[in-house]
Amino acid sequence: MNEIFDLKRFAKLFLYECSTYLPKLSKVLVTISCIIFAAWVTTIVFKFEFPIYFRIGLISTLFSVACMLAPFIVYGEMNNRKSGYFYAMLPASIPEKFISMSLVCLVVAPLVSYAAIHIADSLLYSLSLAEIGGFAGVKLYNPFEGEGGFVLVLSYVANIAIPMMFNTIFRKSKIIKTILVYMGFVFSLIMLLAWMFSTFSIDKIEIFLGWASEVGFALYFLLAVTIAAFCVTYHKIKTVNY
């Protein structure tokens, strides 16, 4: 049997992880459904005239949050010093574990979250007897619709790959520590922009932004961060120490 990658062994691992880990998402999906229910009740009771883009934005936000939380919820115990041995003892190679984790977090968990969110949304809003601010009826939201499809897909992948990485790096308080890292990055970016505006003239800043936009700096940066996140995740799965 191939020690690096065996299709039958990988299939067993993938099916096992889907059947064992995905039920952990139920609490998050119930919470998200309650948020949709609260928005629906608020619309009915107070007769708010919410435009349709508010509802689509709410669904989009809840879907993004579910995707970001999935790695922490599904694989949160994989590097725990007390309860993580089960993951290390799974009969699979490191590449198989990495690919399975990537598929579960990038494809399976988002599909389950997407279906749960839209089922809750469709059931609740189909109960409305009259259109209320664009909330009535069944309105499916496509997270990949619109222009800039590649950038949107890459942003979606990065939105999950980065939490996957931090899930393997941190052992405790993973979500809080990840949020703090995000806040630190945003703060550093704000400080950098403040330094640029205080140091350089507006013309030079406009030239730099024009160059960055022309060469697609943001796209290459996002691609590099995504690849780095996957590399770190693979390394941490390989070298996890209990």
Q: Among 13, 171, 177, 152, which Cα is nearest to 94's?
A: 13
Structure tokens at 82: 């007390």
The whole-number pLDDT of residue 175 equals: 93
Task: Quote the crossing angle between the two packed helices 217-239 and 202-214, to the nearest 10°.
Answer: 60
Predicted confidence (pLDDT) per residue in 57-115, tens digit: 788 888 889 999 999 999 998 998 887 788 888 889 999 999 999 999 999 999 998 88
Residue 16 scores a pLDDT above 90? yes
Confidence of residue 143 (pLDDT cuts 50, 70, 90): low
77 in Cβ contact with 83 (< 8 Å): yes
Cα angle for residues 162, 166, 171 (degrees, 5° grid): 165
Structure tokens at 65: 């949050």
Cα angle for residues 184, 227, 165 (degrees, 5° grid): 50
Domain segments of the chain: what residues? 7-239
Residues 21-47 have a mean pLDDT of: 81
Confidence of residue 49 (pLDDT cuts 50, 70, 90): low
Residue 1 scores a pLDDT above 60? no
Residue 199 scores a pLDDT above 90? no
197 in Cβ contact with 204 (< 8 Å): no
186 in Cβ contact with 192 (< 8 Å): no
Residue 190 scores a pLDDT above 50? yes
Residue 90: count of CB within 10 angstroms of its CB: 17
Which of these ranges, 10-24, 75-89, 148-162, 198-212, has the smallest mean pLDDT?
Answer: 198-212
Instruction: Return all residues near 221 (Cβ < 8 A) that are at least 6 apart.
Output: none
Of the two residues 150 and 161, the one the predictor is more confident about is 161
Measure the CA–CA gap between 123 and 140, rounded to whole angstroms: 12
Instruction: Return all residues near 112 (Cβ < 8 A) that are at least 6 apart.
Output: 22, 25, 29
Residues 136-143 have a mean pLDDT of: 50
Instruction: Return all residues near 9 (Cβ < 8 A) that are at least 6 apart.
Output: 1, 91, 92, 93, 96
Q: How many distinct helices (H) and strands (E) make up the chain?
A: 10, 0
